[in-house]
Amino acid sequence: MKKQFKHIMIDLETLGLEPTSIIRSCAAVEFDPETGETGERIEWKVNLQQSYDAGFTLSIDTIRWWMKQSEEVRKQFVDEDETELKDFLNHLKYFIESHGDDVTMWCLQLDFDLPILRNHYYWLNKDSFIRKDYNYVPWNRRKIRDVRPYMDALEAAGLLPPKVADRHTPMADCLAQIGYIHLAIKNSLVIK
């Protein structure tokens, strides 16, 4: 029998820091925070031209930042094996919804990944941006969590693992973030 995971880690790589930024790539990983065990892992590279044509934005500073990364990171970034924008959003939606209403969504900062995704789902459903309701997102807004407090607790305890240089892929980031949560729970750290 397949294990039912009730937690999903999301990570984006984008072309900006604003809620309307173009998503370059996304990973979603189901996991168990108590054991650190992971289940299904999915990663998408989103069609840049479709995102730009849909009105999503980019930042020159972010483009410059990507250009300063290692050759391997830049190569992964420009790899053109892309998923159509609407296909990506629908596939991610089905993945999240397949876990039910009580799935907990995790990301590294609550003001980055999910607001960007929220705007993409508004666009998908209403062809517009910046709405105040949550009717179009495939997650329960009451069940979202931030990895940052777990990292802070690990750092305060002297247990935060060193950052892996040149990671910059959403899958590597998801797996590292799941590791932080599990390590904090395993060490019974107080999360503030």
Per residue of the chain (192 residues), give pLDDT as tens: 778 899 999 999 999 999 999 999 999 999 999 999 999 999 999 999 999 999 999 999 999 999 998 888 888 888 778 999 999 999 999 999 999 989 999 999 999 999 999 999 999 987 555 555 567 889 998 999 999 999 999 999 999 998 876 677 899 999 999 999 999 999 999 998
- Alpha-carbon span 192 to 185, nearest angstrom: 13
Residue with tokens 């999240």: 96
Domain membership of residue 192 (yes or no) is no
Domain membership of residue 72 (yes or no) is yes
Domain membership of residue 87 (yes or no) is yes
- Please count the structural domains in the chain: 1
Nearest to 8 by CA among 101, 85, 81: 101
- Alpha-carbon span 32 to 6, nearest angstrom: 7
Contact 107, 5 (CB under 8 A): no
Nearest to 95 by CA among 117, 64, 70: 117
Domain membership of residue 191 (yes or no) is no
Range of the domain at 43: 7-186
Cα of 10 vs its chain's centroid, Å: 3
Domain membership of residue 127 (yes or no) is yes
30 forms beta bridges with 8
